[in-house]
Structure 1
Amino acid sequence: MQTLTPSFSTALHFIGGQLHDSPTRFDVIDPATGLAFQTAPDATQAQLNQAVVAAKQALPAWRDLGYEKRGEQLRAFASRLREQAPTLATLLTQEQGKPIARAREEFERSAMLVDGITRLAIDSELLREDARGRATLHHRPLGVVGAITPWNTPIVLAVSKIVQALYTGNTLVLKPSPYAPLATLNLGVLAKDLFPPGVLNIIAGGTDLGSWLTRHPDIAKISFTGSVRTGKAVMVACADTLKRFTLELGGNDAAIVLDDVDVEKIAPQIFWAAFGNSGQVCMAIKRLYVQRKAYEPLVAALARIASQVQVGPGADASSELGPLQNRAQFEYVRGILDDTRRSGARLFEGGQRLPDSGYFIAPAIVADALEGMRVVDEEAFGPVLPMLAFDDVSDAVRRANDTTFGLGSSVWSSDLDRAEEIANQLSAGTTWINSHMGVEPGVPFGGIKQSGMGVEYAVQGLKGYMEPHVIKTPAHDLQASH
């Protein structure tokens, strides 16, 4: 691998192996100040077409390269992610808001995903071999994939789509969120001399670009991570050309805590599973059901942590939680908190706007919450945790499942057999026991109900980037070949 001397001074599109500007650029806001600090290029429809043409031209050679060679190039890309993490993490923090240590971790997690996914084997399968002949199942790349990523964990989600699409032999056109496009655009700088031109293309823009991408006739699949509302629009847009799609959408994840837990032990784990990245994680705990005996002790323990956590600009090394990423999300969370104050629930700790400039809200513990309140029924996607008491476990399971979402869930208990029994009753794509959150390269992740369609990661996720191809050979031809 050649030594790279990157230049991250100006964010540019990465199209056909080259960096490109656009006739117009848009502001990128620092959520710690609420002020613009840099601009990003706003792609034209012609630039999207240019990226798709480049991806189509690169497809045959990349497809034919094979898993081993593609994996080697992707792992070289992972090495670049690790090398440049200190520089790009600073940029990620400024555009996204998360503490600098968490930004560095995001690059490391991304590199680990690449390393893990490129070690997975997608083998052909012998379906039958008998007197009729032989039938085998193969998996072929779809073609040019379009990917759309959100603003909460931009690098992990961009890199996960890059590695899955490219490792399976597709080429890619990636669109990051316009709220946090800069670090993702600079992945093109890292990739510039690694992949053949056109294999990876990264272009920035707003709603129009997303619409052009999802409706483009030469895009074979869309991989989208984001809100339910936008996911439904993506699904409709894919219908005209029968595009394949994977949708990883929102969640209103429930955690069920039984009364046999060690409250002081689990409280920090639950707090960070709810408030990490200021609650801006699709699979974070969003509703906490606690059995009556453990309820008040856990309320008090979580409130104590919330009162002590350091909230501030991500660039400050002492900050443990940063701001909300954008003004729209900030105002949405404030609206939910205003409704909560009027609802009769106890805002036990936090919830106030902090005096700093920017989009800061103190982490809020909401006790005595009930279904029917916005704070329970809607996904706040912010630093707010409603806590609901229960007596009967079957009632808690029913309430946890009574939602249109179905991304993640968790059960907390010192009795693993009991916890597994409850976990099997929960309607979610993933249920954790005595933990919550986290993805692995070899374990599929996705949602049910309105939390998504399809899965990412593992062999199951990789096959979502491929088309099944059955080959049948008659018995007499097999005999003749021998």
Structure 2
Amino acid sequence: MSADITERSTVAVDFAGPYGLSIDGKLIETNKSFDVFNPATNEVLAQAPEGTAEHMEAAIAAAKRAFPAWSAMDADARGALVEAYADALDAHKEELITLLTQEQGKPRHSMAKGEVEAAIHWVREVGKRRLPVEVIEDTDSHVVEVHHTPLGVVGAITPWNFPVLLGLWKVAPCLVTGNTMVMKPSPYTPLCTLRFGEIAQQVFPAGVLNIVSGGNDLGQQMTEHPDIAKISFTGSTATGKKVMASGSTNLKRITLELGGNDAAIVLADADWQAIVPTLFWAAFGNSGQWCIASKRLYVHRSIHAQFVEAFVAYARDIKVGDGMDPATGLGPIQNRMQFGKLKDLFADVKANGYDVPLGGEIDESLAGNFVPVTIVNNPPEDSRIVKEEPFGPILPIIAFDDVEEVIAKANDSPFGLAGSVWGRDRDAAIAVAKRLETGTVWVNEIHLHGIDVPFGGHKQSGLGVENGREGLAEFTNTKTYMFKK
């Protein structure tokens, strides 16, 4: 049985709890709940509502009921509501930042603040975007137009590493293009998502945005459900394959943003001293828990030894600790599952006797999921630390001798999400960048994104794109009209 905690018109957002599901414009309590842990202490932070199959059915039904009126609404009216949603989120910005740090672990003063502020900016700006009608032909006798029409109910499944940003990346384009949504957050980090769902109830018509937290069975229910027209998933490649397979039952549209093993290439002429801090944060930001982290750092052999020495010196000064501490540079690993995977990878590095000039030993006596900044110097190309995506604060720095060699090594991966090239000769660096088999490549910069810049992976790093005009179009069907005059 479920009960209404509050009517939509009287929603009061209390970030201390209790937390409820957002279904059909109401906050719903559940009979069961599950623990959400603070990864800096491994203490229970809050209880999250455990949605059932019945809750998910109710959410999908609500989104389906809301779709006809929402999709028929004038696009500018929808966009205005999406912008109003950004304002409502902004009013709770500080609470969201604190809650994000407490449930995810990232430092409040840096990455948590940046994530929430970027997410609100994204919602506001996407609310202003439209997909125009394209006129293919307009003669005295005939007109051909291409329109973009909404799909229906979209199911969104979001990850634990950037739960606010990657969740709202899906919400804004989905709603502005006329779809409705049911979102399932990661059970590791459901709290911010539940709260931004609650905030949405104050802005959107009932059923337009629904949030159901719970176990992985709810995700499978979404991907198989005949009333969901599209799945937008961010997570691991292994899970993405399962999403794609189960979504095939009714030929769902699918967007998959999956894993990566991004290579950063530092050419012989690079101003390497100046870019050490940039490349450190490119690799270790969010404690390495992001798909586009630089996970393989290739440095030309002529500067490799000096680069490693400078990189280690910089890294030594970065504090790993509780994200609520203003002195913390890197927070804990978000969950015990990922912590265990990193322990196994660290054990492999140690067992093989690789050169580890910094870190390498995880202190399991600490209460939180803390993993030290670790640098592995010149491991073999076929080692696990080079071939696998670690998703943690460990980085191999590998020497290379020539451009052809490093391009081949960078491309020798089932992943193809992003990469970067660094060198004073801009044309030469761009020439290398053009040969990388990735969806995004930066030259002498990294991790720049934009509202109008499409982002997606090649190979097993994903399917489709987010952001930009292409990202908006992912939430629509292309519909061609032909008129005889």
Q: TM-score range by the shorter chain?
A: over 0.9
Contact 2:335-2:369 at 8 Å conserved across structures: yes
Q: Deviation digits for residues 383-433 of structure 1, max 9, x if unmatched?
A: 011111101111100000000000000000111111111110000000001
Alignment of 1:11-90 (within 5 A): 11-90=19-98
Contact 1:404-1:449 at 8 Å conserved across structures: yes
Amino acid corresponding to residue 97 of structure 2 in structure 1: A
Contact 1:70-1:166 at 8 Å conserved across structures: yes
Alignment of 1:195-206 (within 5 A): 195-206=204-215
Contact 1:306-1:350 at 8 Å conserved across structures: no
The yes-or-no answer on 1:437 pairing with 2:443 is no
* 1:7 maps to which of 8, 11, 14: 14
1:3, CA displacement in angstroms? Answer: 11
Counterpart CA distance in 1 for 2:310 and 2:126 is 38
Q: Deviation digits for residues 5-54 of structure 1, max 9, x if unmatched?
A: 52222111000010001121111111111222211111111111111111
The yes-or-no answer on 1:138 pairing with 2:150 is no
Amino acid corresponding to residue 88 of structure 2 in structure 1: R
The yes-or-no answer on 1:383 pairing with 2:393 is yes
1:342 aligns with 351
1:131, CA displacement in angstroms? Answer: 6.7
Counterpart CA distance in 2 for 1:188 and 1:436 is 31
Ranges in structure 1 where 5+ consecutive residues have no aligned partner:
none
Q: Deviation digits for residues 354-411 of structure 1, max 9, x if unmatched?
A: 4531110111111012211110000000001111110111110000000000000000
* 1:236 maps to which of 242, 245, 248: 245
Contact 2:266-2:272 at 8 Å conserved across structures: no
1:116, CA displacement in angstroms? Answer: 2.3
Contact 2:297-2:398 at 8 Å conserved across structures: yes
Ranges in structure 2 where 5+ consecutive residues have no aligned partner:
1-8
Q: Deviation digits for residues 287-344 of structure 1, max 9, x if unmatched?
A: 0111011211111111112211011011111111000000110111121111112224
Amino acid corresponding to residue 206 of structure 1 in structure 2: G
Amino acid corresponding to residue 387 of structure 1 in structure 2: I
1:394 aligns with 404
Alignment of 1:150-169 (within 5 A): 150-169=159-178
Alignment of 1:72-471 (within 5 A): 72-101=80-109, 102-130=111-139, 133-354=142-363, 355-471=365-481
Deviates more, 1:90-99 or 1:454-463: 90-99
Amino acid corresponding to residue 296 of structure 2 in structure 1: R
1:352, CA displacement in angstroms? Answer: 2.2
Counterpart CA distance in 1 for 2:50 and 2:445 is 41
Q: Deviation digits for residues 177-200 of structure 1, max 9, x if unmatched?
A: 000001110012211210000000
**Secondary structure at the residue paired with 2:35?**
strand
Amino acid corresponding to residue 211 of structure 2 in structure 1: I
Contact 1:375-1:386 at 8 Å conserved across structures: yes
Counterpart CA distance in 1 for 2:275 and 2:85 is 37
1:130, CA displacement in angstroms? Answer: 4.0
Contact 2:362-2:372 at 8 Å conserved across structures: yes
Counterpart CA distance in 2 for 1:473 and 1:72 is 32
Deviates more, 1:45-54 or 1:112-121: 112-121
Counterpart CA distance in 1 for 2:140 and 2:45 is 70
Contact 2:259-2:291 at 8 Å conserved across structures: yes
Amino acid corresponding to residue 57 of structure 2 in structure 1: N
**Secondary structure at the residue paired with 2:471?**
helix
Amino acid corresponding to residue 236 of structure 1 in structure 2: A
Contact 2:83-2:128 at 8 Å conserved across structures: no
TM superposition score normalised by structure 2? 0.95
Counterpart CA distance in 2 for 1:294 and 1:66 is 58
Corresponding pairs, count = 474
| Percent identity of paired positions between Structure 1 and Structure 2 | 45
Counterpart CA distance in 1 for 2:96 and 2:148 is 36
Counterpart CA distance in 2 for 1:292 and 1:67 is 55
Contact 2:13-2:195 at 8 Å conserved across structures: no
Contact 1:120-1:442 at 8 Å conserved across structures: no
Counterpart CA distance in 2 for 1:65 and 1:351 is 56
1:472, CA displacement in angstroms? Answer: 1.1
Amino acid corresponding to residue 435 of structure 1 in structure 2: E
Counterpart CA distance in 2 for 1:14 and 1:182 is 12
CA RMSD between the two structures? 1.4
Counterpart CA distance in 1 for 2:432 and 2:126 is 31
**Secondary structure at the residue paired with 2:460?**
helix
Contact 2:350-2:360 at 8 Å conserved across structures: no
Contact 2:34-2:47 at 8 Å conserved across structures: yes
Contact 2:83-2:125 at 8 Å conserved across structures: no
Contact 1:128-1:134 at 8 Å conserved across structures: yes
**Secondary structure at the residue paired with 2:482?**
strand
In structure 2, the CA distance between the partners of 1:459 and 1:3, relative to structure 1 (3 Å rule), is farther
Contact 1:7-1:189 at 8 Å conserved across structures: no
Counterpart CA distance in 2 for 1:35 and 1:368 is 38
**Secondary structure at the residue paired with 2:328?**
coil
In structure 2, the CA distance between the partners of 1:285 and 1:134, relative to structure 1 (3 Å rule), is same
1:226, CA displacement in angstroms? Answer: 0.1
Contact 1:250-1:282 at 8 Å conserved across structures: yes
